[in-house]
Amino acid sequence: MKDMMNIDRNELIDKYISGEWSAEERELFTALYNSDTTFKISADQRKVLVDALQTHHKRKELKAMLEGFHSEIDNHEARKYKTKFTNRIIRFVQVQKHNFAVASSVAIIAIASTFAMTTKYFSDKRMGEYQELNQEIRDIKGYQDQILKSLKSNNSNKNNYHPGKFNGTAFAISTDGYLVTSSHLIRTADSIVIQNDNGLRLKVEPVYKNVAYDLAIVKIVDENFKGFGKLPYGISGKEASLGEKIFTLGFPRADLVYGEGSLSASSGYMGDTTSYQVSVPVNPGNSGGPLLDSKGNLIGVISGKQTASEGVAFAVKASYIQQLLMELPELEEQPQWIGKYSSVNGLNRPQQVQKIADFVFEVNVYND
C-alpha cells in the first residue's frame, strides 16, 4: 500500500464521489474513512455538497423542459377540470331540474351532497334498490383449500390467492384494442383478462374511467393481439326514442347471452338523465355490455337494474361514451375510434349478432 501521508486525500474524496476509482483507491479510502474522523467528515460533507450541486443543476434543466411542456397546455381546457365529486353534483342537479322546477339551487346542492354522502337515504322500498351487475364468484372450497395449504406450509404468502373474482362484459370501441366497460367492474382491479365467445383470451389494462358515468376505457396489452377488423356497430350520438326495439349481448354466464326488449324511458334510476331505462332481461355479468338498436347503432352500455322489479334495467347513454373519449388523457397513439355508421343495418338479427359477437368480451377481474 502507498504511504498514507503522500496521497492526495482531496482527490481521493473526489474519486469516491464520482465512483470512478480503482480497487486500491477504494481500499485506501475505506481505511482512511474508518480511522480518521476529520477525513470522514470531510468526505461526508463533500458528498452532501456535490449532491446538492447536481440537484441544483438538474432542476435548471428540468425547469426548462417543463416550460416547454407548459407551452403546449391550453389553459382554457385545463380550467374545465372536473372532479368525481363536482361531476356527481352537476349530474344530480340536472336530474332534479325535471322534478322540482322551483326548488332553490342551495337546497338542491344540499340534497346533492347528502346524496353523495349517504345513498342509503334514497334506497327506500318504493324506489327499489339499484344493483350493479358485476358477478362476484367466491369459490369457497378453493378458498378453504388455500387457507389449509397456507397453514400447512410455513410460507403463507397472502398474495397467492384471489378470493374475489368479478365478471362483466366489455366491447370494442376502436379497431386497435380499446374497449368500453363499466367503471364499477374495475374499481379494485388488479388483473383483468377478457375473453370472447371464440375463446380469444387477452390481457387488458385500464386506461381511463369516469365513475360519474360508470364507464371505463381499457386497452388490450397482449402482444399477440394484432387489432380488430372494422367494428360492425356505429355510434350516432343521437338520443334513442321511447319504444325503440333494442338488444344486448353479454356474459351473465360463461357463454354469450342475447337479450332483447325495448327502450322504456329516457331517464334511468331515480330520473338519472345520463341513463335509459330498458326492458331487457339482465343479470349479474351483463354490466358493461353494449345496448344496440335494430339497425346496429350503439345506443348505450348496460349498467345496472332495479332489484325490486323484474324487467327494469338501466344503460348509460352512448353520448357519454363520446364524452369519455373526449376526456381521455393524451395518448401517444391515434386510435381508430368507432365510426358513425353501423355496417349491419338491414341484416336479420342472427346475422347481426354473429357479426357483433366477436367484438363482445367477458371481463374477468381478479383482485387480491
Partner 1 sequence: MESRIISTEEDFLRGVRQDDAVVLKRLYKMHYPMILNLVLNNSGDEDEAKDLYQEGFMAFYEQVRREGFQLNCKIKTYIYSICRRLWLKRLGEKSKFSKKIKDDDDFHDLLEDEPFLAENEIKIEVMNMSMAKLGEPCKSLIEDFYVHHMSMGEISDKFGYTNAENAKNQKYKCLQRLKKIFFVNYNGNEGYDEY
Binding region for partner 1 (CB under 8 A) = 9-11, 17-18, 38-39, 41-42, 45-46, 48-57, 59, 62-63, 65-67, 69-70, 72-73, 75, 77-81, 83, 85-86, 205-207, 219, 221, 329-330, 332-334
Identity of the residue, 31 or 62, whose beta carbon is nearer to partner 1 in the bound complex? 62
Residue 135's nearest CA partner among 167, 182, 163 is 167
The CA distance from 23 to 256, in Å, is 67
The CA distance from 240 to 174, in Å, is 22
Burial class (CB in 10 A: 0-12, 13-18, 19+), 93: middle
C-alpha cell at 212: 360519474
Identity of the residue, 66 or 242, whose beta carbon is nearer to partner 1 in the bound complex? 66
Report, in Å, the least distance between residue 249 CB and partner 1: 26
Residue type, 349: R
Report, in Å, the least distance between residue 227 CB and partner 1: 13
Residue type, 277: Q
The CA distance from 325 to 302, in Å, is 18
Identity of the residue, 110 or 221, whose beta carbon is nearer to partner 1 in the bound complex? 221
Report, in Å, the least distance between residue 96 CB and partner 1: 21
Identity of the residue, 92 or 233, whose beta carbon is nearer to partner 1 in the bound complex? 92
Which residues are CB-contacts of 232 (< 8 A; sequence separation ≥ 6)?
296, 342, 343, 344, 352, 355, 356, 359
Report, in Å, the least distance between residue 336 CB and partner 1: 13
Identity of the residue, 7 or 270, whose beta carbon is nearer to partner 1 in the bound complex? 7
Report, in Å, the least distance between residue 168 CB and partner 1: 19
